[in-house]
């Protein structure tokens, strides 16, 4: 079967499969590509000034010690922490993390995220170039390749993976995946194991950036079907190494992701859930691609039943689309293959395997859209009737070009409008809530943003809005309690911490924070009970330290010593732990041990006055007056107006 095309047209499928595009069009292609990239960069330029921090950016940047501290050791940990990544709760994605770390090395930091956006925008420009080259290699028409690249580069759905720092994985994986496809086309045309090895290497790099690149070998099989026209048993056999690589990556992904949360698979769902998800998502993405309005970083999870209008529209739309694509095979393989490429590449993000809590997201359409772009390239070939000549173009060709430029203009306008929502974090979350008043995570993150700005009353109101949407949302209870405690409203804080624990009992951080509030309120026994609950769940040094200090301050020295000793064992460089352990030992008569811990605390932190004062007292107790005098003099050098140190020094000097 071969697509119908004008005689001699570069769109003829057999000719496209048999020969590389003419080299004489290279300068024209380069000029058009440069123009497209310039336009794409100009339209997306405001992304460099975007300051919004989105949902999981704390894991990828704000609270990631390896990204924040670039080094060879950090890079090695990203590469070697395969089964259970320690800084990001999710699947193995070392290249994405190393890429963010390198941006930090080039000046990126939480209060200046421009370097991260700069790299993401550069990757988007590179991906646009790769799309143009791919279309040109397949169809041989520089003008059509440039038009398709322009539509890809300017589409509003590309805003999210550029402006969202944590989505570096999408941009980087797409870069390697598109590179893999380009090299594969060269291999399909000219052969050569070096090209095949290059294709496999780029596939591995794509998987190391983001494992949702797994279906790439299936994409290559579909390209063999159309437009390469080389789908044979041999072409399938040559993909076996790629499928083995993809299978290994899928196993690693399942293992690493399951360390942090259950990963339901289709067999765990009710029978109708899978087809309803697929139907909903197919039509959702096609609609957003054709009509990209009301774009958001969070879309409401639909009720997976035909009573939900979006699900019903998905089922009706899919039932109409599938027969239409099958019928289109009478004339062309382009439409069916393009849609299959979109579906196959998007499949890992369709929500069938539960590695995320969302069902749809703009970023999930970034790489899959290549399938639809190839179908669009075929349609443009048919519409133009051949290559745009260097001389005078035909009226039909001018019309096609005008339509594409008009669409590109509409895309550019929508992209700028979407970028404006990323100007700051507060605005981004308010926009999200406006589109979906039930977006609990958006309420929570908006409240955190307001609290960071010191607008605590507004933060409290926002948490309470979230709890009106869902009174059983534990994160809102926890964070509301923390804000109330910050304002000294301890009884209300205790009530919300208690409710959070009723909803999720095994949360060490909530037990710890509740213990701190109870200690502030004077409920020593209650605080001790919750510190002990923390230690049963997770032996955190901070909990041992807090519990030891509470026992110490309440005169329970013997009980404090084991906890403070454990802190010293787990964190031997913690000066305050040595100092407080010394204080407990001193009060139980273990003076020599106390002196050793005071000395170590001072070595670690020479300006720690509490350790020097306790050491001076211990030395006095041992009769080492000269050494005690020296410590009091050191204290007065650090704090000249300390009356207690002056009095005790005077007493020692007067002896």
pLDDT tens profile 291-311: 999 999 999 999 989 999 999
Task: Indicate the burial class of 262 (C-beta count within 10 angstroms; 0-12, 13-18, 19 or more).
Answer: exposed
Domain membership of residue 644 as a residue range: 573-655
List the CATH number of the domain containing 616: 1.25.40.10
Confidence of residue 20 (pLDDT cuts 50, 70, 90): low
Give the mean pLDDT of 156-169.
97
> Is 531 exposed, middle or buried, given 0-12, 13-18 or 19+ CB atoms closer than 10 A?
buried
Q: What is the per-residue pLDDT for 298?
A: 94
Q: Domain total for the chain?
A: 2
Reported as a single tens digit per residue, the pLDDT across 497-512 is: 999 999 999 999 999 9
pLDDT score at 394: 81
Q: What mean pLDDT is predicted for residues 217-242? A: 97
Is the pLDDT at 17 greater than 60? The verdict is no
Phi and psi (nearest 5°) for 564? -70, -35
Q: Which of 482, 502, 507 is nearest to 492 (CA)?
A: 482
Q: What are the tens digits of pLDDT across the range 332-369?
A: 999 999 999 999 999 999 887 766 678 899 999 999 99
- Tell which of 419, 434, 451 closes a domain: 419
Alpha-carbon gap, residue 144 to 498, rounded angstroms = 62
What number of other Cβ atoms are within 10 A of residue 224's Cβ? 21
User: What is the percent of the chain with per-residue pLDDT over 90, rounded to a whole number?
Assistant: 82
Task: Give the pLDDT score at 37.
Answer: 98
Residue 504 belongs to some domain of the structure? no
pLDDT at 611 over 80: yes
Residue 440 has pLDDT above 50, yes or no: yes
Residues 6+ apart with CB under 8 A from 481: 492, 493, 494, 495, 496, 497, 500, 513, 514, 517
pLDDT band at 223 (very low <50, low <70, confident <90, very high): very high
pLDDT at residue 389 tops 60? no
- pLDDT higher than 60, residue 11: no
Which pLDDT band, with edges at 50, 70 and 90, does 484 fall under? very high
Domain assignment present for 184 = yes
Domain boundary among 419, 450, 475: 419
pLDDT of amino acid 556 = 96
What are the angstrom distances between the C-alpha of 538 and each of 195, 417, 507, 544? 51, 46, 9, 10
Per the domain annotation, does 362 fall within a domain? Answer: yes
Q: Is residue 242 part of a domain?
A: yes
pLDDT band at 24 (very low <50, low <70, confident <90, very high): low
Q: Residue 618 corresponds to which tokens in the numbers above?
A: 């211990």
Low-confidence winner among 235-239, 258-262, 405-409, 440-444 (lowest mean pLDDT): 258-262
pLDDT for the residue numbered 7: 34
pLDDT at 397: 85
More confident residue, 198 or 383: 198
pLDDT of residue 266: 67
Amino acid 220: pLDDT: 98
User: Phi/psi at 31 (nearest 5 deg)?
Assistant: -65, -45
Q: How many helices (H) and strands (E) does the chain have?
A: 33, 0
Single pTM value for the model? 0.89
Domain boundary among 379, 403, 419: 419
Q: Tell me the CA end-to-end span of the chain in Å, nearest whole number.
A: 109
Query: pLDDT digits over 61-112, tens only?
Result: 999 999 999 999 999 999 999 989 989 988 999 999 999 999 999 999 999 9
Residues 558-594: tens digit of each pLDDT: 999 999 999 999 999 999 999 999 999 999 999 999 9
Structure tokens at 567: 């802190």
Measure the CA–CA gap between 654 and 115, rounded to whole angstroms.
Answer: 64
């Amino acid at each position: 079967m071969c697509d119908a095309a004008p005689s001699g047209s570069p769109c003829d499928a057999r000719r496209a499969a048999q020969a590389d595009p003419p080299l004489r069009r290279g300068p024209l292609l380069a000029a058009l590509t440069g123009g497209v990239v310039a336009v794409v960069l100009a339209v997306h330029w405001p992304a460099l000034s975007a300051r919004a921090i989105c949902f999981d950016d704390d894991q990828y940047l704000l609270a990631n010690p390896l990204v924040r501290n670039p080094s060879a050791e950090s890079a090695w940990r990203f590469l070697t922490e395969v089964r259970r990544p320690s800084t990001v709760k999710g699947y193995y994605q070392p290249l994405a993390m190393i890429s963010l770390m390198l941006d930090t090395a080039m000046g990126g930091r939480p209060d200046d995220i421009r370097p991260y956006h700069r790299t993401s925008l550069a990757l988007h420009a590179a991906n646009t170039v790769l799309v143009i080259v791919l279309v040109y290699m397949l169809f041989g028409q520089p003008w059509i390749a440039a038009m398709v690249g322009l539509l890809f580069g300017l589409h509003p759905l590309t805003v999210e993976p550029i402006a969202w720092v944590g989505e570096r994985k999408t941009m980087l994986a797409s870069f390697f995946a598109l590179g893999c496809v380009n090299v594969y086309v060269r291999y399909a045309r000219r052969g050569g194991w070096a090209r095949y090895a290059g294709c496999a290497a780029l596939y591995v790099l794509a998987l190391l950036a983001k494992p949702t690149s797994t279906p790439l070998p299936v994409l290559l099989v579909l390209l063999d079907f159309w437009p390469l026209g080389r789908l044979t048993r041999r072409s399938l056999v040559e993909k076996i190494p790629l499928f083995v690589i993809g299978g290994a990556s899928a196993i690693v992904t399942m293992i690493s992701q399951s360390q942090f949360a259950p990963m339901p698979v289709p067999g765990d769902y009710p029978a109708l859930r899978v087809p309803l998800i697929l139907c909903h998502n197919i039509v959702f993405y096609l609609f957003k691609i054709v009509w990209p309005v009301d774009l958001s970083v969070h879309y409401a999870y639909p009720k997976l039943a035909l009573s939900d209008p979006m699900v019903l529209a998905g089922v009706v739309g899919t039932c109409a689309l599938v027969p239409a694509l099958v019928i289109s095979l009478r004339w062309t393989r382009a439409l069916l293959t393009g849609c299959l490429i979109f579906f196959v590449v998007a499949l890992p993000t369709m929500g069938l395997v539960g590695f995320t809590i969302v069902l749809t997201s703009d970023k999930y359409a970034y790489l899959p859209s290549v399938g639809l772009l190839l179908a669009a390239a075929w349609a443009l070939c048919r519409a133009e009737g051949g290559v745009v000549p260097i001389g005078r173009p035909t009226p039909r060709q001018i019309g096609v070009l005008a339509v594409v430029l008009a669409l590109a203009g509409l895309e550019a306008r929508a992209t700028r409008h979407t970028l404006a929502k990323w100007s700051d974090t507060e605005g981004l979350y308010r926009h999200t809530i406006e589109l979906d008043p039930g977006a609990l995570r958006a309420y929570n993150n908006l409240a955190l943003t307001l609290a960071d700005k010191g607008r605590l009353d507004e933060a409290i109101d926002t948490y309470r809005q979230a709890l009106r949407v869902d009174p059983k949302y534990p994160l809102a209870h926890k964070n509301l309690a923390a804000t109330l405690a910050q304002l000294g409203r301890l009884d209300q804080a205790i009530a919300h911490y208690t409710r959070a624990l009723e909803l999720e009992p095994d949360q060490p951080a909530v037990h710890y924070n509740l213990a701190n509030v109870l200690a502030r309120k004077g409920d020593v026994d209650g605080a001790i009970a919750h510190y002990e609950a923390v230690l049963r769940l997770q032996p955190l040094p901070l909990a041992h330290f807090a519990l030891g200090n509470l026992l110490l301050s309440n005169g329970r020295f013997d009980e404090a010593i084991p906890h403070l000793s454990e802190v010293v064992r787990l964190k031997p460089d913690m000066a305050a732990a040595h100092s407080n352990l010394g204080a407990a030992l001193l009060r139980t008569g273990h003076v020599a041990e106390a002196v050793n811990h005071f000395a170590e605390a001072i070595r670690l932190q020479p300006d720690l006055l509490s350790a020097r004062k306790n050491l001076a007292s211990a030395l006095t107790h041992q009769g080492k007056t000269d050494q005690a005098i020296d410590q009091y003099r050191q204290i007065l050098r650090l704090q000249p107006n300390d009356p207690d140190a002056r009095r005790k020094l005077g007493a020692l000097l007067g002896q």
